[in-house]
Chain A
Amino acid sequence: MRIKVSSVARAFEFVGRGEVATIVVLALAFVVPFTTSSPLVFSLTNQILIATIAAFSVYIMLRMDLLSFALPAFMALGGYAIAVAAKAGITNLVALLLISFAVPALVALPLGSLVLRLRGTYFVLVTFAFNEVLQLLLFEMPAITGGSNGIAGVPASTFLGMVLSSNQAVLFVTCVIGVLAAIITAGVTAFYRREFAAISENETLATSLGLVTRRYKTIGLAVSTGVAGLAGFALVNMLLTAHPSSFSTLSGFSYIVFAIVGGRASMMGPLLGAAVLTTATLFFSSKGEYSPALYGMLVIAVVMLARNGIAGIRLPSLGRPHVEPRADAQLFKRAGNTT
């Protein structure tokens, strides 16, 4: 196993074992639609894949130390875009993939030029406002978005003449989107690993050393929102409906929790976080009114016990060494604390 992985890794300079492993695991998901027919397994796999793609979107931004709460807004842009397109007759899978990636990315570009100037927590909180604005816009423009009812009865996608509407086909499409999103995520984080790391460590220093941080932040934002759009496509495809309640601020929190609890150091993090927490949510749903508390306690437990997320629990044999805590925190450890 190690020999095979390292030879693939040699092909790309910065693609770490974490990236390759994640893509391999996601590719393995293709096995599911062909070996079982249990609706539960389909549903769970679908949900985990969608959650993973959304968590990838968060992960790309986290590589630049930027946290974006606007994820549901861009998922909605992707999801609604393909809903409108499919209802207008464009159902080819490839076309829909392109639309769901391009629409949010194109919207993100001008927005990025406005908000990427903001540092740290301001950026975080502004993305929070984005989401609220988008929900309100969805409501106020019923002609395009169906208003509070959303767009129901979205036609299934087609490819080479096949209509992909059965349970298996829907999961198959989600797997395709998952692997595509993983490749894009791996690609952008590997290709720009140095630039993103510089921005993340100390942006002022990077700029003063000549790095055009604005350009890389914009690229990162555009790709991140494109991946979010892919997640939106997968979600609308699973439900055959584009509904405002699927893109709520609460769901945005969930995806961020997956990425952080899973671990920010490697691409395995979002995958693990999404897998474990989605399964836990499903399990807790049968406990009725206790489910939010159980989920909250699980999150607290993981954060308390696993400093670098679930992916960081094990020895650093997958992925690069983890991102060091901030420089000043290390230098000025408070007396008596063992960090």
Chain B
Amino acid sequence: METAVSAGIIGIGLGAQYALLSLGFTLIYGILGVINFSHGGFYMLGGYVAFAVVSKLGLPYPVAVIAATLGCAGLGALFELLVLERHIDDHLATMMLTMGLYLVMGTVLVLAFGTEPVEFHSPVSGVWRSGRIYVPYANLVVLCACLAAIAGIYVLLYKSNLGRALRALADDRPVATALGLPPKILFPAAFGVATGLAGFTGALVTPILSLHPHIGDSILTISFMIVILGGLGSVVGAAVAAFVVGLVEAYSSIYLGGSIGALTLFLLVLATLVVRSTGLFGRQVRAA
């Protein structure tokens, strides 16, 4: 059935985008114990920085994407260093602080770019068709970029010294610190990597959808869902869960309708947690 294939294609596309987003989210939680309420904000910021670079500075799109990634990474690292660092042990405080940051970011974007969607198109156009099945070329590019980024994160975390240090901190912070790993450098770095990822995703995905200051609100919900489903702190879990969620969303929305589709997704997550209380791949979790 053509619809089923279309659903699968759409689901995988969604999954790749969600994977990038939730990787950043689970990194911050796993290593710093922070629930980052401003995740959606960095996604939007990435989109807007890329838009500004392309439309105001006239630079090519790939440069814009890099600029967005670095910009978000820098801002994130700075925020962690100046604001979060002092309260890093108090999970509720960090939640409040990132929430405050999100509100400020949203307002700044509204003041700078207005409340309405801005015109930000992907440089790639055209659609591949076969019967009723279709894939816009821009979506293919985004999919490839997402997979490349996921691979890049994997290499960073599992094959580099920085990654090893971050994983050590995530595993057992007191011991890692006692062994000499400097949290003052590594924490901002970790936060920066995650927010940079969010910015990268924003810069990639918003041209194929739309860019306005309210797209960040739903990013948080979906990142939460995926990260719980996959298991907190588990990078593999987040990636797998992202594709599961993408496919479930695609199939349930197409066959059951948008509203009921959303309901199905949430019920699925709840059901999974009842059966397996640490998510698909989760480990023992620290208390909130």
Contacts and interface: CB of A to CB of B under 8 A. Distances in A.
A and B touching (Cβ–Cβ under 8 A): yes
B215 interface: no
A115 B273 CA distance: 8
A interface, how many residues as a size bin? 35 or more
B74 interface: no
Given A121-B35, A296-B101, A126 B270 contact: yes
A248 to B, nearest CB: 11
Contact of A136 (B102, B108, B259): B259
A96 B33 CA distance: 42
Contact of A67 (B87, B92, B100, B286): B92
Interface string B193-237: 000000000000000000000000000010011011000100000
Q: Which of A122, A249, A295 lies at the interface centre, i.e. has the most chain B CB atoms within 10 A of its CB?
A: A122
Given A66-B288, A120-B286, A303-B96, A129 B225 contact: yes
A300 B100 contact: yes
A128 B100 contact: no
Interface string B81-120: 0010011011111011101111110111011000100000
B216 to A, nearest CB: 12
Contacts of B93: 260, 303, 307
A304 to B, nearest CB: 7
A303 B282 CA distance: 30
Contacts of A122: 228, 232, 273, 277-279, 282, 285
B163 interface: no
A297 interface: yes
Contact of A124 (B178, B267, B278, B288): B288
A281 to B, nearest CB: 12
Given A289-B107, A292-B106, A296-B102, A121 B232 contact: yes
B269 interface: yes
B174 interface: yes
A295 B103 contact: yes
B266 interface: yes
B266 A123 contact: no
A296 B277 contact: no
Nearest to A304: B83
B274 interface: yes
Interface in A263-318: 264, 289-290, 292-293, 295-300, 303-304, 307
Contacts of A140: 259-260, 263
Nearest to A302: B96
B262 A303 contact: no
Contacts of A289: 107, 110-111, 115
A126 B96 contact: no
Contacts of A293: 103-104, 106-108
A334 B177 contact: yes
Given A129-B270, A136-B259, A325-B89, A299 B96 contact: yes
A296 B269 contact: no
B29 interface: yes
A133 B263 contact: yes
A133 B225 CA distance: 12
B183 interface: yes
B56 interface: no
A65 to B, nearest CB: 6
Contacts of B103: 292-293, 295-296, 299
Nearest to B271: A114
A326 interface: yes
A10 interface: no
B173 interface: yes
A329 interface: yes
Contact of A257 (B96, B110, B173): B96
Q: Which of A293, A297, A326, A336 lies at the interface centre, i.e. has the most chain B CB atoms within 10 A of its CB?
A: A293
A13 interface: no
Contact of A114 (B173, B183, B227, B274): B274
Given A121-B29, A130-B270, A136-B263, 16 more contacts: A118-B273, A120-B287, A120-B288, A121-B288, A122-B228, A125-B224, A126-B270, A136-B262, A289-B110, A290-B111, A292-B103, A296-B101, A325-B90, A332-B173, A334-B177, A335-B177
15 contacts: A67-B288, A121-B35, A121-B286, A122-B285, A123-B288, A129-B224, A130-B270, A140-B259, A295-B100, A300-B100, A300-B104, A303-B97, A307-B90, A307-B93, A325-B90
Closest 8 CB pairs of A and B: A296-B103, A293-B107, A332-B174, A300-B100, A120-B287, A296-B100, A299-B100, A329-B89
